[in-house]
Chains A and B, each alone.
Chain A
């Protein structure tokens, strides 16, 4: 799959006749070394907390699995996990459905307009989630702006229930997460050579076919990155579901917080965290199998 070509100038400056390296293998293993700075950082900062978490989860005056026994026998944790996954998958799907056309629009428009749209999309970031939630109650409540407008316009005569249910949670979450879908998509889309599509069209493909069979596949890495990002962020959300949701949106994060602060039962909290990690890992393994490992690990393009 051909991607965007660098300008001839770039290619020329990269070449220097003096140094000649033969093997692709040597080059690639050199590139592997680039992970070292991050690895050193992770080992220094991440390993210790991880070992604490493992200690809390698997030890209680000696190695134990009681925490796992407790949590696996308790329906409410399954419910909380199911709620979390439901919320996250829905958010991801919504962000993709809404974000893809927006990213496409931005990628195929003039650079100035694109940057203006980028600025607009980044505006909500400066308002903390807590403050935004307050605004949602003002907008979406039974006596809120939206309902008052709809009733005044005669669209409906009873207020729509937009808060303290899945609808409210999704509105709140998509509002926060949409930029995390749009930007990866845009980054990949803007690299797609417009000539590729023109060639497809000149070969006789309809606009729709050109889009589905040429553009869409080329944007796949962006889709993968956007979905991974949004999903993982959504899974960790605590505030939005707690403030905008109902009993059906009580998340695992709430349960973990309850164990950490109300019960000071860090063993159980850590175990819930481990379970979540395993579940997410399984989900990713399933997706990799279904869509091809390369989509998610992005192992090389050649």
Chain B
């Protein structure tokens, strides 16, 4: 009896101890780059269309990780244990990270001139280079709101009498409130949007509240709700609506008054090998590669040169095709990231205000 208990204890201790005895020093693997993105089909496209050329040119292999949690970036930088290199993430995250000094400035000399010429200047920032464009668009259910009679602008989205049905807008999930849409709904012309009249926007949000059936926390849920008819129309990612439509969902997307925003390449502060990381980014913004990626995942490529490799049909659905891009506006990142007298950026102030607005009713 005693022996068996002793045996049990030893085995348990062994199980606990054994893996720990394999401690290896901190990773600074030569020959491996870690790219952090959102996973799924986009990562697969990068794997197929960007990595081979990159590996051939530099001799480095690429490992992917997901999702690009900002807290994890900060934790890595703070602990000195940096195991991520290149990050693909949205502007709100870029703003959060750069405010806390967690990003490495990009070395633009490593990007081919020809490519940079074809990438809109708005997308070339000191700490982030646009890779793909997503957009917040009017996404609606085609059964409840047929294409002939669907909301064509945000004023109509706010009008539940003319266009009945629930609305779905975002709350939390790292996305800021859609103040621009609120102002457009109130009749503010696109070129007079910025600087945003915040109070006016929140008054419009007060009008929106009663007709929202669900404040979604993930775009996946927004698409499901609209497709299932639980919401008739919403403000979510147009390209995701297109993907669902291609999959057979009764979803339509109207690009009018859409807000363009970018997913961007950034480097983590203290990145292990900046030259190799920049070489990857250089490969990723290649027009040919971006065209191939866009064919698989309908986000607008940042490199305008990619359109030369796309057919008219493929381009038509993309949010940055010549005709679609005309209808949309660029989110003014500078306005959102300018710290106020209290040291807080509008992104922080409005996100806090949004939470209060939601909880205090």
The minimal Cβ–Cβ distance linking A183 to chain B, given in whole angstroms, is 24
Question: A141: CB under 8 A from chain B?
Answer: yes
In the complex, which of the residues A142, A164, A258, A264 contacts B355, with contact meaning CB atoms closer than 8 Å?
Answer: A258
Contact across chains for B348 and A263 when beta carbons are under 8 A apart? yes
Question: B172: CB under 8 A from chain A?
Answer: yes
Contact across chains for B228 and A143 when beta carbons are under 8 A apart? yes
Q: Please provide the chain A residues from 224 to 278 with a CB less than 8 Å away from any CB of chain B in the complex.
A: 242-243, 246-247, 250, 254-255, 257-258, 260-264, 266
Q: Please provide the chain B residues from 125 to 175 with a CB less than 8 Å away from any CB of chain A in the complex.
A: 171-172, 174
Q: How far is the CA of A261 from the CA of B102 in the complex (A)?
A: 13
Question: A75: CB under 8 A from chain B?
Answer: yes
Nearest 9 A/B pairs, CB to CB? A76-B359, A79-B359, A164-B214, A76-B356, A141-B230, A143-B229, A242-B217, A260-B71, A261-B71
Q: Please, which residues of chain B bring their CB within 8 A of the CB of A176? A: none
Q: How far is the CA of A258 from the CA of B221 in the complex (A)?
A: 19
Query: For A243, A257, A258, A261, which residue has the most chain B Cβ atoms within 10 angstroms?
Result: A261
Question: A138: CB under 8 A from chain B?
Answer: yes
The minimal Cβ–Cβ distance linking B313 to chain A, given in whole angstroms, is 32
Q: Which interface class (under 10, 10 to 19, 20 to 34, 35 or more) fits B?
A: 20 to 34
**Cβ contacts A to B, 12 pairs, < 8 Å:** A75-B359, A76-B356, A134-B224, A137-B230, A141-B229, A142-B229, A243-B218, A246-B215, A254-B172, A255-B355, A260-B71, A263-B348
Question: A80: CB under 8 A from chain B?
Answer: yes
Q: Please, which residues of chain B bring their CB within 8 A of the CB of A250? A: 355, 358-359
In the complex, which of the residues B96, B174, B213, B355 contacts A76, with contact meaning CB atoms closer than 8 Å?
Answer: B355
Question: A163: CB under 8 A from chain B?
Answer: yes
Q: Please provide the chain B residues from 93 to 119 with a CB less than 8 Å away from any CB of chain A in the complex.
A: 96, 100
In the complex, which of the residues B92, B215, B360 contacts A79, with contact meaning CB atoms closer than 8 Å?
Answer: B360
Q: Which interface class (under 10, 10 to 19, 20 to 34, 35 or more) fits A?
A: 20 to 34
Q: Please provide the chain B residues from 52 to 82 with a CB less than 8 Å away from any CB of chain A in the complex.
A: 69-71, 74
Q: Given contacts A76-B355, A141-B229, A257-B172, list 17 more A-B pairs with CB under 8 A.
A: A80-B359, A137-B225, A137-B228, A138-B228, A141-B228, A142-B229, A142-B230, A143-B230, A163-B230, A243-B221, A260-B71, A261-B69, A261-B96, A261-B174, A262-B70, A262-B351, A264-B71
The minimal Cβ–Cβ distance linking B16 to chain A, given in whole angstroms, is 8
A contacts with B: majority SS: helix
Contact across chains for A258 and B172 when beta carbons are under 8 A apart? yes
A contact residues vs B (CB 8 Å cutoff): 74-76, 79-80, 83, 134, 137-138, 141-144, 163-164, 242-243, 246-247, 250, 254-255, 257-258, 260-264, 266
Beta-carbon nearest neighbor of A13 in chain B:
B1
Q: Please, which residues of chain A bring their CB within 8 A of the CB of B230? A: 137, 141-143, 163
Q: Please, which residues of chain A bring their CB within 8 A of the CB of B356? A: 74-76
Q: How far is the CA of A74 from the CA of B360 in the complex (A)?
A: 10
Contact across chains for B174 and A163 when beta carbons are under 8 A apart? no
Q: Please, which residues of chain B bring their CB within 8 A of the CB of A260? A: 71
Q: How far is the CA of A250 from the CA of B358 in the complex (A)?
A: 8
Contact across chains for A262 and B221 when beta carbons are under 8 A apart? no
Beta-carbon nearest neighbor of A247 in chain B:
B358
The minimal Cβ–Cβ distance linking B284 to chain A, given in whole angstroms, is 25
Q: Please, which residues of chain B bring their CB within 8 A of the CB of A254? A: 172
Beta-carbon nearest neighbor of B73 in chain A:
A264
Question: B361: CB under 8 A from chain A?
Answer: yes
Q: Please, which residues of chain B bring their CB within 8 A of the CB of A144? A: 228
The minimal Cβ–Cβ distance linking B181 to chain A, given in whole angstroms, is 19
Contact across chains for A263 and B96 when beta carbons are under 8 A apart? yes
Q: How far is the CA of A154 from the CA of B199 in the complex (A)?
A: 47
In the complex, which of the residues B74, B100, B218, B224 contacts A137, with contact meaning CB atoms closer than 8 Å?
Answer: B224
Beta-carbon nearest neighbor of B348 in chain A:
A263
Over the window 217-233 of chain B, the binary record of Cβ atoms lying under 8 Å from chain A Cβ atoms (1 yes, 0 no) is: 11001001100111000
Contact across chains for B214 and A264 when beta carbons are under 8 A apart? no
Beta-carbon nearest neighbor of B225 in chain A:
A137
Q: How far is the CA of A80 from the CA of B172 in the complex (A)?
A: 14
Given contact pairs A80-B359, A137-B228, A262 touches B96 in the complex (Cβ within 8 A): yes
Q: How far is the CA of A164 from the CA of B215 in the complex (A)?
A: 9
